[in-house]
Amino acid sequence: MNLPNFALFSGTANPDLTGAIGHALDRRVSPSRVEHFPDGELSVHLDEPVRGQSVFIVQSLAPPVTENLFQLLLFVDACRRAAAGRVTAIVPYLGYSRADRRHARREPITASMVASLFQTVGLDHLVTLDMHTPQIEGFYHLPVDALTAVPSLCNEIKDRLSPGTVVVSPDEGRVKMAGEFAGRLGATVAVLQKQRESGTETKIIQVIGDVRDRPCLIIDDMITTGGTIANAIEALLKAGARPEITVAAAHGVLTNGSRARLCHPAVREVLVTDTIAPTHSKWPQLRVVSIAPLLAAAIQRLVARESIANLFQ
């Protein structure tokens, strides 16, 4: 691949993904070291010069989120102090995105604070995937490209869905994403309407759309505890859906307990991408779809100073 010179670095959150991106670009991952001092402090070393180069740093803000965030900030600062020409962070999973507003008077807006930190250390460009809320981009005073995993997930799943499958949004906030899935799959959409029971609990009160005797594809931007998906499964079955349910999400955070909640007899398959390094083994229903080709294509076009608009299609 004939591209101008650039450097590709990897944080420790998901080095396999960075390796796959490098392989797709026919470019080696630049050597670096991330070390911990005895007191827990982090140190980052770039093991080759980057003066004047375009630098891409791949690092998901996956658990442990705070450490991975600080590591990324150190990488950016190290590149700046080494006189890199332009620094782009490839952050497949942008942690802290759910804290995009205050729910009470004495709370931080953490998503805004993270944006300020990136700008303070001198980041030039952020590339991420399926933001939790699109308006987070407004916190950034630098270019942000938010790609989507929907085409990759649809390509993986389209031949395995049964005819008549309904795409289900677990709440009103994912209706647009559900529409994107449905448009690509030639399916209809149903929406689960929720009612807040308390500050931490919600209840599904209505299934909007026809799901009776039909298989369902539940979509979401992320799966963390699995609680939202588990509640959606029960609501759909209660509404008469066929016990043939597929789940698809861009980000598989999959904290402890999520597997147990998703191992329901009606669930045929759970699809996530590798924005977060997979940690669950021997889970037959779990399928991980790589977004390395998508991110490699984005980097290729950025290096060549070409538009990446059609990567959103």
H or E stretch at 17: helix 15-25
Residue 69 inside a domain? The answer is yes
Is residue 308 a part of any domain in this protein? yes
Residue 234 lies in a domain: yes
pLDDT-derived band at 15, boundaries 50, 70, 90:
very high
Same domain, 261 and 296: no
pLDDT score of 22 more than 80: yes
Pick the catalytic residue: 194, 203, 238, 282? 194
Tell me if 144 is assigned to some domain: yes
Are residue 127 and residue 167 in the same domain, yes or no? no
57 or 313: which leads in pLDDT: 57
Give strand pairing partners of 87. Answer: 55
Residue 194 annotated in active site: yes
pLDDT value for 199: 46
Q: Judge if 223 and 298 occupy the same domain.
A: no
pLDDT tens-digit map of 125-155: 999 999 988 889 999 999 999 999 999 999 9
Least confident of 10-14, 42-46, 301-305: 301-305
Domain shared by 82 and 108, yes or no: yes
Same-domain status, 65 and 174: no
Residues 108 and 143 in one domain: yes
pLDDT at 197 over 60: no
Residue 1 lies in a domain: no
H or E segment to which residue 46 belongs: strand 42-46
Q: In this structure, how many other beta carbons lie within 10 angstroms of the beta carbon of residue 65?
A: 16
Q: Residue 303 above 50 pLDDT?
A: yes
Domain co-membership, 17 together with 85: yes
Burial class from Cβ neighbours inside 10 Å (0-12, 13-18, 19+) for residue 133 reads middle
User: Do 103 and 180 lie in a common domain?
Assistant: no
> For a pLDDT cut of 70, what percent of the chain falls above it?
96
pLDDT at 189: 97
Kindly tell me if the per-residue pLDDT of 201 is higher than 70: no
Average pLDDT, the chain: 92
User: Is the domain of 111 the same as that of 174?
Assistant: no
Q: What is the CATH number of the domain that holds 113?
A: 3.40.50.2020
Residue 75 in domain:
yes
Residue range(s) defining the domain that contains residue 78: 6-148+292-312
Does residue 154 share a domain with residue 144? no
Helices H / strands E in the chain, number of each: 8, 14
pLDDT at 92: 98
Asked whether residue 205 is assigned to any structural domain, the reply reads yes
Q: Note whether residue 299 is domain-resident.
A: yes
Give tens-digit pLDDT for 231-267: 999 999 999 999 999 999 999 999 988 999 999 999 9
DSSP single-letter state for residue 50: -
Total count of domains within the chain? 2
Nearest Cα neighbor of 218 from 198, 239, 189, 195 is: 189
The position carrying tokens 């298989």 is 215
Residue 227 and residue 102 share a domain:
no
Same domain, 165 and 230: yes
Q: What does the pLDDT look like over 41-74, one tens digit per residue? A: 999 999 999 999 999 999 999 999 999 999 999 9
